[in-house]
Amino acid sequence: MQIDDAGNVTGTYTSGTRICDLQGTATLATPGSAKNLYAVRIVAENSTQPGSTGCALSTGVPHNGFAAIRLMPADGSIIVNSSTRYARTLVMAGSTGTGGYFTMQMTKQ
């Protein structure tokens, strides 16, 4: 997944041969605030990629939820000290309200 400076989300979800194209938005939940909470809205559609056998997510229905930026030790350790380096990750979860849902975590590249 990718998020541009305007908060537009694009990406692909793959589960075996089931491929979904993802589009949506990720914006501050409280516009103009400095809070670390983002409102997300993602819609999955069947991919036109060759070999795709459909989408494993609920298609055409908005998945609404929230996301937050989280700092994680870059080396994956659970014990931190003054020399620990951190990587920013975005943790996101959303649901359709009718049983469909997604969760994901992205690390800034």
For residue 47, what are the domain limits? 2-107
Residue 98 contacts by C-beta under 8 Å, 6 or more apart in sequence?
Answer: 58, 61
- Number of separate domains in the chain: 1
Residue 68 sits at φ, ψ, to 5 deg, of: -145, 150
Q: Tell me what pLDDT residue 76 has.
A: 82
The residue-averaged pLDDT of 70-98 equals: 88
Q: Is the pLDDT assigned to residue 109 strictly greater than 70? A: no
Where b means 16+ CB within 10 Å and e means fewer, 45-57 reads: ebbeeeebeebbb
Q: CA of 27: how far to CAs of 7, 48, 90, in Å?
A: 6, 28, 13
